[in-house]
Amino acid sequence: MTMQEQHAAKRPIRSTVSFMLSAWQDPAARIFNLDLLLVLVAAALPWSTSIFSILMAIWLISLLVTANPREFLRFMSQPVCWLPVALFAMALLGTLWSPAPWNERIHAANPVAKLFVLPLVLYHFQRSRRGTWVLVSFLTSCVLLMAMSFLVFYEPSLTLKRAELIGSAYEPTRGIFVKNYIDQSQEFALCAVALAYPISRLVREGKVLQTLLLCAIVLGLLANMVFVTVSRTALVTIPVMLLFFAVLHLRWKITFMILVSLVLLAPAAWTVSPSLRATAERFASDYQMYRQSNHPTSVGLRIEFWTKSLRFFSEAPLFGHGTGTIRGLFEKAKTGPEALAQAQVISNPHNQTLAFAIQWGVLGIILLYAMWFAHLALFRGEGLMAWIGLLVVAQNMLTSLFNSHLVDFVPGWMYVLGVGVAGGTVLGARSQVRPGDP
């Protein structure tokens, strides 16, 4: 027990409110308040962009006001901290050689700014022991969203979300209460796979009730994705993440049994779930429609976007075309009638590597993968936080093959919070920097 923990243990019992109000005099109270605020931030992410942004702004201001500048600068010397900031700095510098209008340059740099928050979250949680609170808050919020999704599935009038035009068709809002099916699938997939680690631990410890509770949550999340709605990205990445967990944390015999079970269960899920069949079958139908008639289907558009993006990258391979130039390049490259895939214009090529390559060339690719691999290396070892951090990075890397999920709002903030909370906790455990509890 540290000196601060001994001091906290001897502190007279006081109300939580009075403790929180003592933040100006008590560093432990400041950390406690920041923890509670980030608990609310994590709970808001699946539901509301506006509430999340407001709470996050308050948290950032509160942290910066109370941070120790010297300590923070020393902490920033680690690659896991300065690499995200380098990516944001690159986006800002890229505005200097970009030919795009200034409003487009700023608009393109803005989503990358969230990476500047990542080292701040890391810094905070290397001195706090309450990272689990934030993760449980996010899980609880996703479970409540899952329940609401089932309600909306059976009573679509309850939704707050209107139908959206995705590719060439309007996606139904059935089963979507807020935001969209891609963000919802990302959240549910992360929670479902993340719970595999604590479930395996609880089974070994013989804790039946806790195991059943977590298994029920996992089954509910998976059932929602099977029977209500799921993104095609989640369909591809969930099996990979499950295999990732099995290889890292289970014996080979158990891993083999799980793989066999998945193979046997997949046809059953396919048979009983029209939603799952429709989602999977659209892969082939979208591709055929694109090849036969240049119809702008989701799969066809990605092929178009990726092909053109590689050409744009080859035109400026070292430092790219500059921040905010993607849409202008697609405008110049469009051909044919507006209804065809070749004429579609976009500011997001639906691949994170290509998005960075177009704007910042090889430099952007190097910094992106250096950050990803630095964060993967941070989570080497055992423990819940190491597993969650590893999973967050792996999910972001996988889904960024089909989308720009590092800079998209919900997946990007999932990365910032997940890596920040888990990574800060891991760093704190290694350095034994532990302030006291209230």
Paired strand residues for 165: 170
Distance CA 359, CA 22 (A): 47
Domain boundary among 314, 343, 372: 343
pLDDT value of residue 438: 45
pLDDT average, residue stretch 173-201: 86
In this prediction, residue 339 has a pLDDT band, given cuts at 50, 70 and 90, of low
User: What percent of the chain is modeled with pLDDT above 90?
Assistant: 44
Are 147 and 182 within one domain?
yes
* Tokens found for residue 131: 């990272």
Cα dihedral across residues 344, 350, 353, 356: positive or negative: positive
Tokens for 302, please give them: 């990605």
The amino acid sitting at 436 is: G
Does 267 share its domain with 374? Answer: yes
Q: Look at the chain and report how many structural domains it folds into.
A: 2
The answer on 214 and 300 residing in a single domain is no
Distance CA 242, CA 254 (A): 13
**Are residue 373 and residue 300 in the same domain, yes or no?**
no
179 and 295 inside one domain? no
The residue among 343, 360, 381 that closes a domain is: 343
Please indicate whether residue 300 or residue 95 has the higher confidence score (pLDDT). Answer: 95
Domain of 314 in residue numbering reads as 286-343
Residue (of 10, 12, 35, 30) closest to 20 by Cα position: 30
Highest mean pLDDT among 189-193, 245-249, 413-417: 413-417
Domain identity same for 293 and 366:
no
Q: How far is CA 399 from CA 240, 245, 346, in A?
A: 11, 17, 19
Residue 195 and residue 104 share a domain: yes
| Higher-pLDDT residue of 376, 337 | 376
Q: 15-19, 123-127, 382-386, 417-421: which has the highest mean pLDDT?
A: 417-421
Q: Which residues contact 159 (CB under 8 A, 6 or more apart)?
A: 152, 173, 174, 176, 177
What span, in angstroms and rounded, lies between the C-alpha atoms of 438 and 29?
7
Are 370 and 79 spatial neighbours (Cβ–Cβ below 8 Å)?
yes
Stretch among 118-127, 146-155, 232-241 having the lowest mean pLDDT: 232-241
Do residues 90 and 178 both lie within one domain? yes
pLDDT at 10: 46
Inside any domain, residue 357: yes
For the chain, give the mean pLDDT. 81
Residue that is written with structure tokens 């300590």 in the block: 71
Mean pLDDT score, 107-118: 93
- The pLDDT confidence band at residue 346, using thresholds 50, 70 and 90, is confident
Read off the pLDDT of residues 260-298 as tens digits, 9 standing for 90 and up.
555 555 565 555 556 555 655 565 566 566 655 665 566
Structure tokens, 377: 């290396």
| Three-class DSSP labels, the chain | CCHHHHHHHHCCCCCHHHHHHCCCCCHHHHHHHHHHHHHHHHHHCCCCHHHHHHHHHHHHHHHHHHCCHHHHHHHCCCHHHHHHHHHHHHHHHCCCCCCCCHHHHHHHHHHHHHHHCHHHHHHHHCCCCCHHHHHHHHHHHHHHHHHHHHHHHHCHHHCCCCCEEECCEEECCCCCCCCCHHHHHHHHHHHHHHCHHHHHHHHHHCCHHHHHHHHHHHHHHHHHHHHCCCCHHHHHHHHHHHHHHHHHHCCHHHHHHHHHHHHHHHHHHHHHCHHHHHHHHHHHHHHHHHHHHCCCCHHHHHHHHHHHHHHHHHHCCCCCCCCCCHHHHHHHHCCCCCCCHHHCCCCCCCCHHHHHHHHHHHHHHHHHHHHHHHHHHHCCCCCHHHHHHHHHHHHHHHHCCCCCCCCCHHHHHHHHHHHHHHHHHHHHHHHCCCCCCC
Can you give the pLDDT at residue 237? 80
Of 100, 91, 94, 98, which Cα lies nearest the Cα of 331?
100
Q: How confident is the model at residue 89 (pLDDT cuts 50, 70, 90)?
A: very high
Let me know if residue 437 belongs to a domain: no
Domain identity same for 292 and 169: no
Last residue within a domain, chosen from 343, 378, 410: 343
**Residue 115's pLDDT is what?**
94
Residue 241, domain member (yes or no): yes
Question: Is residue 346 within 8 Å of 362, Cβ to Cβ?
Answer: no
pTM: 0.84
Q: Does 80 reside within a domain?
A: yes
pLDDT of residue 2: 43
342 or 365, which is more confident:
365
Position 66 scores a pLDDT of 79
The answer to whether residues 113 and 214 belong to one domain is: yes
**pLDDT of 120 over the 90 cut:** yes
438 within a domain of the structure (yes/no): no
317 within some domain? yes
Distance separating alpha carbons of residues 424 and 120, to the nearest angstrom: 9
Q: pLDDT band at residue 302, thresholds of 50, 70 and 90?
A: confident
Can you give the length of the chain in residues? 438
Predicted pLDDT at 330: 86
Residues 218 and 332 in one domain: no
Judge whether 436 lies within some domain: no
Based on the domain organization, do 305 and 427 belong to the same domain? no
8 A C-beta contact, residue 164 and residue 197 = no
- Is 363 a domain residue? yes
Exposed / middle / buried, residue 337 (Cβ in 10 Å: 0-12, 13-18, 19+):
exposed
Q: How far apart are CA 420 and CA 40, in angstroms?
A: 16
